[in-house]
Structure 1
């Protein structure tokens, strides 16, 4: 099999999507050329240049490091079209106009390299009709397909891949592998039908919410409270999500359904809701214009009142009885919602019913199997479980009967009957569409397995579906030892590398977790190539990327504090430090596999590992100042060592220059905005792999352990390091005084920052003095314990434990 290596990509169209796709390619270290029309005034690449500059201002940030916008090469179709021949993949992302796209295809087709893939990023236009714009170019048609990124492309896991009748299967396999590993996407193959899978079902579900909310008189902010995290869906729920996506974009996708599904029994539902049309006509397009369903008024967020058309105070919540129902198991939850007389409960049952009816009626038309529908909705709309999964978990047969009863009674949005396979045959016998054999495909009248491309061998635990026999990573593999704190185990087919996973809330580390970690290192040294610290919780959710570790478990330390005051905590801190040192000086490599948050102690354990394998969406930092403390798990000590190495490499003895950035990161509780940013701060090293698909994290970490072991790994030698000393402390203190006196920081912030300065400068010693790691750890401990004895720090800790938010005092 020949390799498909993407050395360069061209993106055609520097609009919102095109520029952000280009940005994410840069994140993944793929060279990219961004094309647009030649500007009529100024530099001919002006349109692309402005789009590239604008990437730095967008929120959420499309780039892992905003200054890397300059890595995108601007181009125009007049002067630079020859650059297309250098590209292995060309992604067209211009406006959703068939005629414009066809005109562009005529212009670029002669310049596309003979083996390049040509893909169109469209949210709903027919891929087959777009391919017609390639005329009689059969070869290019065979390399043409649809590739639908969801907005924003950096963060949304879903990409839909849509072939035409002419697309070569090998082209799809190559592109799926690139999208999966290099760009970190969850790929779903869709049929060439209006709006494909995710938008077809997702927009219908939103239209159902519009219709049922109006019917039951539920305000927009209450709808969002009902249809967000309480329902296991994106926190932004329905109308906030619409604002983020853009109401004009939503209206466009709805219009695609109107134009192409005129004979559909649900056609009346596809009409643009009057309130949405009114907002679009008024130019209130959501977040990008400052107003949509929500509007920021000073510091207050207001919500549109559908009856008056005015913005009013937002924040209304679901009724308590409904909130309680939503905490129930799926079967009981659906039953209680259906039976309740509460309008909010009736609204929710109606929306569930509408979506269940829709996906059953259209499964055969839009998707290869029920798995494609559920994964597309989970990854594209942020649901923890897909609609077929919800139906199956609630009791397939009973829910089907309830839906049929509402259809027959005229309470549904359309009178389209559920297909026969819902009630009889294999699905009825299996009590659902997902089974260990695969997911239901009406086209084949069988349960079909998901694609098994070689790229998926990199995913030890592929995203699972309820009802399938997918292994639960919390229980899979072979357990070596397990207790209430940790599980020590090996994964299937990889019994040469030990894994330790925490079992605490947010994977925090208390004494029991440290004991478990130490035991895992002992076992790894006795009989394995090394140890991976990996948390499987991220794969239990519909959307990957859970926490690596929120740091030290402060609650676990409270009994010691109550018994012995601040000094009573010192043994806890010493134990934590000893655990970090054990990681660093283990005789076998210890590799951390990081995704999501790695804060405080979670960051410190990374810093002590032999190597860090880090998911792109990782948010890493030493944040202890938020609770009035200093990092005391060796994080500041490692900063000193890193500064000393950097100074030596530069041939300098001005150690303060090399510690200042690290001091500022800790003193301001700076958290990286990505793994790339963490590398820039210094929490991730140049040799540490950054992984874009979080499902590949464990595989890469295990590979790193093997590579280190096979190269003859030896733990680092402990050595004395030079420090900036008391003169460095004085220099930092001078700048802190100015910040305090200018009211930029509080008096307590000033005190904490001083204590951090004392540690990173090595304490009360001469500049250039050599100190040991133990000396630096002792400074950390003393600063931590001293601060814990202050009332202000105790206020911050209690505030964090009670509200989860930092207290500024």
Structure 2
């Protein structure tokens, strides 16, 4: 049994960009964290760290899940604060990439590190064994590398790099902590420069740079080819380099050149002249306002090497090549790329060929299995498939033969031979049994560490499938299933998990079945988002056909579904991740409990399309305000907290912020690992059931803010209208929202019930929906995905 790593307090050494953000993420995860740096030369001794903490609030995307968490980070410096290390269970060093500086720091802190504490270096390319060598004997077995990707809150990958002296139990404890507490995907890397992610990822960028020049293509053209068309992020290759920083790029390339002299591709490990020229001019990419790309007004400009100047970035993938890339079958696609004489197709084949060649050649020295390489690239670089998965999907044997032919013909970037295992007649490296390990010459299954039992559906690599459970009920909108553990799960089948008539009917049926045959019900989606809200296309169709009655019936059915969730006789738990907008937000508001992934973007956004929440969302906010105020209390003060959230269609930027906005409840759970969400939601449902769950009593005495509430909200809105913060139509929508929240034009303090509020919601929703401006807003959102201000 591996030792459990109990982390009550952690320290991060180094308050630079990475260190401060790692400290922020530990704090997000509820870990009491001390952030260290050098003592400031003037002002307070902790000045360097205080400045770094203040800066966290300015970074985008935000490292902190709530701005309020900044005050939880304890600042310290190496001159006066080292005593604080004694109480730390985990210490992460994240100072500049200089071996001598790191070694000096280790010598300095060693006397203050507790006997049980784990020390890890967040280096991206320095040798872990070389760092371990300077540590005192008693620390070496508790030291390893842990490499977070930037930005650490959002990037799923954490590479764990053991030194030859690291205890296995220390690694397992840290792997478990990183997975559940910080929500990371952990991959073990060998102690080689740049580890796995950057070794393969940066090589892919270098190969792209090399073949861009060979094929004479523009940078914008290459980005059009190496983004979503090949299953990679929109920022593709050169845009990504701008975001990372061209100086950082050059540094990583230089590290490869300095530390990998024996690599058969070594002559390619150099920054091209144009990159050095941009850095020389201070055009370092996004942070400097210009790099390979720059903005000129609304136009995106790109560096053109022929003219040595910027031109409009307007080159696309050629129709012929885009057509090849849309080919469904990967084997056919790669065959066509290789045969095509189009320079863009030749370029793509060459980039993939050299990536496959490099990955296969180095697999044995950088990783245990092919799975580790594929997951590192997917989680660290956002590719939909890793290099080995891409190769295997395209037909392993045929592609291997083509690579060998190209090497023989001198077309590849290196003449290094493919390893013998590549050509031993295999069909690939991944199978249901596991993934190939050259070191062991066998397939290795996934880790059996207990933490992975919490992932019912891990992130699969090619060839892996997981049992989908036993179907209980299914229609065109939902599938309800179970694992024989007494808790049923219902998932939506619609695009973006929008709420259609079939979803509404399916949910009501699922609740009825759960009440009869199960202890609880979890609403969970296998992939993000949780739900993008009501099916606007269907709704707009009914309105434009003049079927107002059918439209109103749909709204009533929506409300009935929310109420069915709320008053189910078994606990219904919503497992939210990604977007939970409009109706998606309302369903989780009505559930017995919500279990939300940290990256949950929750909002009642109907105002953005000229509507108001009418799936019971406003009713629920009014009920909560009345309960919070208590008999005879100030309901308006409670309503005011959420009014702006709804009227401005605010969406939370994290599950923590959703609590602050009043869209999640104080006792709703926040989970850090997306693949553990289902496990925790089922555990919550079971715990509620075991405790003798009863639904809440119907709310029949809801205190209304009434006419006084409406007038007070109107005063707020008049100021916003006069200051031109909102349009006249925004004002009308917000007034209707205020009217429903306040319980209508009735006496302040009057008591109403849920049906009264639901009828108000419905009436105002249907009236707004028939307005020309609302229909224009809905149409614009469906067409462009952006809100229209009219």
Please give the TM-score of this superposition, normalised by the length of structure 1. 0.96
Instruction: Give the superposition deviation at 1:743.
Output: 2.2
Is contact 1:239-1:293 (8 Å) kept? yes
1:690-714 Cα deviation digits (max 9, x unpaired) = 0100000000000000000000100
What does residue 461 of structure 1 align with? 457
What does residue 271 of structure 1 align with? 270
1:357-368 to structure 2, matched below 5 A, reads 357-368=357-368
1:542-598 Cα deviation digits (max 9, x unpaired) = xxxx20000111222344324434444100100011000000000000000011100
Query: What is the aligned counterpart of 1:605 among 587, 590, 597?
Result: 587
1:493-508 to structure 2, matched below 5 A, reads 494-508=484-498
Q: Does the alignment pair 1:595 with 2:587?
A: no
Q: Does the alignment pair 1:762 with 2:758?
A: no
1:445-460 to structure 2, matched below 5 A, reads 445-460=441-456
Is contact 1:441-1:447 (8 Å) kept? yes
Query: What is the aligned counterpart of 2:766 among 764, 767, 785?
Result: 785
Is contact 2:623-2:702 (8 Å) kept? yes
C-alpha distance in 2, partners of 1:167/1:221?
A: 45
Q: Does the alignment pair 1:19 with 2:20?
A: yes
**Unaligned 5+ runs, structure 1:** 539-545
Is contact 2:514-2:521 (8 Å) kept? yes
What does residue 697 of structure 1 align with? 677
- Greater shift, 261-270 or 736-745, is seen at 736-745
What does residue 484 of structure 1 align with? 476
Is contact 2:161-2:188 (8 Å) kept? yes
1:149-548 to structure 2, matched below 5 A, reads 149-328=148-327, 329-424=329-424, 428-429=425-426, 431-468=427-464, 470-471=465-466, 476-491=468-483, 494-536=484-526, 538=527, 546-548=528-530
Please give the TM-score of this superposition, normalised by the length of structure 2. 0.98
C-alpha distance in 2, partners of 1:276/1:406?
A: 29
Is contact 2:543-2:770 (8 Å) kept? no
C-alpha distance in 1, partners of 2:306/2:93?
A: 42
Instruction: Give the superposition deviation at 1:315.
Output: 4.1
C-alpha distance in 2, partners of 1:684/1:307?
A: 55
Instruction: Give the superposition deviation at 1:271.
Output: 1.2
- Greater shift, 797-806 or 147-156, is seen at 797-806
C-alpha distance in 2, partners of 1:73/1:323?
A: 52
Is contact 2:33-2:73 (8 Å) kept? yes
Secondary structure, in 3 states, of the residue corresponding to 2:479? strand
Question: How big is the alpha-carbon RMSD for the aligned residues of Structure 1 and Structure 2?
Answer: 1.3
Aligned length: 787
Secondary structure, in 3 states, of the residue corresponding to 1:118? strand
- Greater shift, 321-330 or 21-30, is seen at 321-330
Is contact 2:245-2:285 (8 Å) kept? yes
1:580-591 to structure 2, matched below 5 A, reads 580-591=562-573
C-alpha distance in 1, partners of 2:673/2:775?
A: 40
- Greater shift, 149-158 or 240-249, is seen at 240-249
Is contact 1:261-1:267 (8 Å) kept? yes
What does residue 100 of structure 1 align with? 101
What does residue 542 of structure 1 align with? none
1:115-147 Cα deviation digits (max 9, x unpaired) = 00000001111101111221xx22201100000
Evaluate the alpha carbon distance shift between residue 316 and residue 766 of structure 1 in structure 2; reply closer, same or farther with a 3 A threshold.
farther
C-alpha distance in 2, partners of 1:261/1:628?
A: 59
Instruction: Give the superposition deviation at 1:483.
Output: 2.4
1:667-746 to structure 2, matched below 5 A, reads 667-719=647-699, 720-746=701-727
1:28-39 to structure 2, matched below 5 A, reads 28-39=29-40
Is contact 2:301-2:310 (8 Å) kept? yes
Instruction: Give the superposition deviation at 1:308.
Output: 3.0
**Unaligned 5+ runs, structure 2:** none
Query: What is the aligned counterpart of 1:771 among 752, 760, 764?
Result: 752
C-alpha distance in 1, partners of 2:293/2:286?
A: 8
C-alpha distance in 1, partners of 2:177/2:164?
A: 22
